[in-house]
Chain A
Amino acid sequence: MNPALQALITITVGVGGCVGYFWLSNLVLDRVLFPARGPQAGRNITRANMIRPWLFLFPALVALAVYLAYPVVATAWLSLHRDAGGAREFAGLDNYARMMAEPKFWESMRNNLLWLVVVPALSTAFGLLAAQLTDRIGWGNLAKSLIFMPMAISFVGASVIWKLIYDARPAGQDQIGILNALYLWAGGDAPQQWLQIPFWNSLFLMAVLVWIQAGFAMVILSAALRAIPEETVEAAILDGANPLQIFFRIKVPQIRGTIVVVWTTITITVLKVFDIVLAMTNGQWETQVLANYMYDKFFRAFDVGVGSAAAMVIMALVTPILVWNVRNARREMQ
């Protein structure tokens, strides 16, 4: 069968199934279980209304249970057991101890921390800058679309693009990597293997994520900037503030809540970063990060215990930020 046709059928069945579920289950509830007629009509309506939210939440709850709750529990269990000839036996914190003894784990932790500081900071800063500047120029909306566009590219796709940017050809040949081309043009001696220079290569990887996330930050912050009452800016102008002072002392403080939400949202993405590292260096040359480390252990080395332990570490790091993020977002919405 033609794949396009397959996709079409999948979409129809999927969407139709969802709509059908809500419509039919609602119908059964109202007509069969608790019909709104007869002597019990009033009580039936109340009961139906109590059950309805659960009915509608049911698919989401099942999905969450199967794809979120179960994996968490299973991973936690796996991280506390070792492979004993096909069966699993309890190992206490043995897997964690083995993981901590590995230099590659600490390299991942270090790199993750670096990502954690650099990427959200730069993405938010660039996003804020772009939001402020594009609001003030005629072709701002075009610029905004261009800056936002990377959001539509998958991380792997973006990695491929940036791999070309960092590409290095032997000396003497034309460089197709723009970074090397620029480097040589600016007087560099020989083309560099950018992704093999420890420390700096991590920054080059981060550039990819910053490139993607700055667009996200810009869109959210631009909306927040527009919501600032124009009069407060005018009052500041009359008070003698220059454009920089208006930006940093009037505008930024008024959107501080949104900045925090954007920052933490990007932080969570960063903690899970995996595809970019996998596609560009696969963790070589000291660029390993936790998610790729976990993948390495679990699916390449088949060390299920240590892989699960790494997964638990990532979860432990993400959870508090996630909670904080949700709290902030809620407060923003009020």
Chain B
Amino acid sequence: MADLLLRDVSKSYGQVTVLRDINLDIRRGELIVFVGPSGCGKSTLLRMIAGLERISGGDFLIDGVRMNDVPPAQRGIAMVFQSYALYPHMTVRDNMSFALKLAKRSDAEIRAAVDRVAQILQLTPYLDRLPKALSGGQRQRVAIGRAIVRDPKVYLFDEPLSNLDAALRVATRIEIAQLKEAMPHSTMVYVTHDQVEAMTLASRIVVLAGGGIAQVGSPLELYQRPRSEFVAQFIGSPSMNLLAGTVASTGPQTLVRLDGGGVARVAIPTAEADLGLRVNLGVRPEDLVPTDAPDALFAGEVEITEALGEVTLLYFRRQDQGAAVVAKLPGIHQGLRRSTVRLGADPARLHLFHQGQSLLWR
């Protein structure tokens, strides 16, 4: 139920600057996801919002009120930690009641609030247990329940699912999505290094990299119109293929002659001056389709195939160095190993990057 505003926020530990120039406007009711590789400062940014970490520079506002020096408990936030951080000596009920007890709410009120939340999270049978007698998934739900009970303006999640096994992770992810649905006015900030979590949960994703924000946008925006090679490769799995080449003709569509031999027509307009520009052509594995046309985008020998049933992944040997080119074909394709396959792609699905930046965003 709150707007968060970060203005030129930065963080340094002594001489080391971890984050700089963070500008972000989070509106009430959004579920914002911070993604980025490990160590890029996601947790640090979240902890600054929580008040557990000092803000080295810039301003942080909640609902227009500057929060830099407001103690954590008075910011109206609740946080769910990766390690759950349950109080090991308290029962589930006491864990969930603790904040309300400190706030001197009446016993009846506390009991009602805890019972209601336990009902929602299916924790009622476990209320009298200690955390050590719960499974990982149950502990995580208690941690979430402890946040909900306080009815905060802002929820903060720091990699809440990364300690769970794969199946439980999917189930809990859906639970969190439903939870958000049920509380349309709460603002949530969610940190993860897992781009699937980001894509499925977020109303907007903030990609953090190199101490700053690489791009902010809705999941599909990041998928369809990545601003940089970094974002393009970070979102989507397997990650986008990059093929070096030169702009051969310009206009409403651009023709790129690839160093590997192929040519590609890209639905990105370029100006006369771009002729001869060195670019990287970006194409997602799922956008590559087998073709018989003479001017294929890529042709190569299949080195490895991975048959997943719903899709088949083809890994191609590459003449120049760089990550293997990957194609994702729908359905089952057998016997392609060691054969040569020619691939093309829809011009509208291709991306062009010059010096790491997308030509779309110039």
27 CB-based A-B contacts, threshold 8 Å = A229-B83, A229-B85, A231-B81, A231-B84, A232-B85, A232-B86, A232-B87, A234-B79, A235-B79, A235-B81, A235-B86, A235-B146, A236-B87, A237-B52, A237-B73, A238-B73, A238-B78, A239-B98, A239-B102, A240-B103, A241-B98, A241-B102, A249-B98, A253-B89, A253-B90, A254-B87, A254-B89
**Are B77 and A238 closer than 8 Å at their CB atoms?**
yes
**Are A236 and B50 closer than 8 Å at their CB atoms?**
no
Question: Which A-B residue pairs are the 9 nearest by beta carbons?
Answer: A231-B85, A240-B73, A239-B99, A253-B89, A235-B85, A240-B102, A231-B81, A238-B72, A232-B85
**Are B50 and A238 closer than 8 Å at their CB atoms?**
yes
Residues in B with CB closer than 8 Å to A241 are 73, 98, 102
**Are A245 and B102 closer than 8 Å at their CB atoms?**
yes
- Using known A-B contacts A231-B83, A234-B81, determine if residue A240 contacts B99 with beta carbons closer than 8 Å: yes
Residues in B with CB closer than 8 Å to A254 are 87-89
Q: Tell yes or no: A121 within 8 A of B by CB.
A: no
Q: A235-B79, A235-B86, A239-B99 given; name 5 further pairs at CB < 8 Å.
A: A232-B87, A237-B72, A240-B102, A245-B102, A250-B87
- Across chains A and B, the number of contacting residue pairs, with CB separation under 8 Å, is 57
CB distance from A39 to the nearest CB of B (A): 52
Residues in A with CB closer than 8 Å to B98 are 236, 239, 241, 249
Residues in B with CB closer than 8 Å to A231 are 81, 83-85
**Are B88 and A232 closer than 8 Å at their CB atoms?**
yes
B92-108 Cβ-contact flags toward A at 8 Å (1 or 0)? 00000011001100000
CB distance from A256 to the nearest CB of B (A): 7
Provide the bound-state CA to CA distance between A236 and B85, in Å: 9
Residues in A with CB closer than 8 Å to B84 are 231
Provide the bound-state CA to CA distance between A249 and B88, in Å: 11
Residues in B with CB closer than 8 Å to A240 are 73, 99, 102-103
Residues in B with CB closer than 8 Å to A256 are 89
Provide the bound-state CA to CA distance between A236 and B98, in Å: 8
**Are B85 and A234 closer than 8 Å at their CB atoms?**
yes
Provide the bound-state CA to CA distance between A235 and B99, in Å: 10
Choose among A240, A245, A250 the residue with the greatest number of B CB atoms under 10 Å from its CB.
A240
Number of A residues contacting the other chain (C-beta, 8 Å)? 17
Provide the bound-state CA to CA distance between A3 and B41, in Å: 64
CB distance from B118 to the nearest CB of A (A): 17
B102 to chain A: closest residue by CB: A240
A223-259 Cβ-contact flags toward B at 8 Å (1 or 0)? 0000001011011111111000100011001101000
Residues in B with CB closer than 8 Å to A245 are 102
Q: Main SS of chain A's interface residues?
A: helix
A230 to chain B: closest residue by CB: B85
Chain A residues proximal to chain B, CB less than 8 Å: 229, 231-232, 234-241, 245, 249-250, 253-254, 256
Provide the bound-state CA to CA distance between A256 and B146, in Å: 24
Residues in A with CB closer than 8 Å to B90 are 253
Provide the bound-state CA to CA distance between A240 and B103, in Å: 7
Provide the bound-state CA to CA distance between A236 and B84, in Å: 12
Residues in B with CB closer than 8 Å to A249 are 98
Residues in A with CB closer than 8 Å to B102 are 239-241, 245
Provide the bound-state CA to CA distance between A236 and B102, in Å: 10
B143 to chain A: closest residue by CB: A235
CB distance from A323 to the nearest CB of B (A): 25
Residues in A with CB closer than 8 Å to B50 are 238
B53 to chain A: closest residue by CB: A234
Provide the bound-state CA to CA distance between A241 and B52, in Å: 13
Residues in A with CB closer than 8 Å to B83 are 229, 231
Residues in B with CB closer than 8 Å to A229 are 83, 85
A232 to chain B: closest residue by CB: B85
CB distance from A253 to the nearest CB of B (A): 4
Residues in A with CB closer than 8 Å to B72 are 237-238
Residues in A with CB closer than 8 Å to B81 are 231, 234-235
CB distance from B60 to the nearest CB of A (A): 16
CB distance from A316 to the nearest CB of B (A): 34
Provide the bound-state CA to CA distance between A256 and B89, in Å: 10
A245 to chain B: closest residue by CB: B102
B87 interface neighbour in A235, A237, A238, Cβ under 8 Å: A235
Provide the bound-state CA to CA distance between A177 and B50, in Å: 54
Provide the bound-state CA to CA distance between A295 and B86, in Å: 53
**Are A239 and B73 closer than 8 Å at their CB atoms?**
yes
Provide the bound-state CA to CA distance between A237 and B51, in Å: 10
CB distance from A145 to the nearest CB of B (A): 27
**Are A238 and B79 closer than 8 Å at their CB atoms?**
yes
**Are B52 and A234 closer than 8 Å at their CB atoms?**
yes
CB distance from A228 to the nearest CB of B (A): 9
CB distance from B146 to the nearest CB of A (A): 8
Residues in A with CB closer than 8 Å to B88 are 232, 254
Residues in A with CB closer than 8 Å to B146 are 235, 239
Residues in B with CB closer than 8 Å to A235 are 79, 81, 85-87, 146
CB distance from B85 to the nearest CB of A (A): 3
**Chain B positions 15-56 with a Cβ under 8 Å from a chain A Cβ:** 50-52
Provide the bound-state CA to CA distance between A217 and B83, in Å: 30
Provide the bound-state CA to CA distance between A236 and B101, in Å: 12
Provide the bound-state CA to CA distance between A239 and B145, in Å: 13
Provide the bound-state CA to CA distance between A305 and B351, in Å: 100
A233 to chain B: closest residue by CB: B85
Residues in A with CB closer than 8 Å to B103 are 240
B152 to chain A: closest residue by CB: A238
Residues in B with CB closer than 8 Å to A238 are 50-52, 72-73, 77-79, 99
Provide the bound-state CA to CA distance between A120 and B287, in Å: 73
Choose among B83, B89, B90 the residue with the greatest number of A CB atoms under 10 Å from its CB.
B89
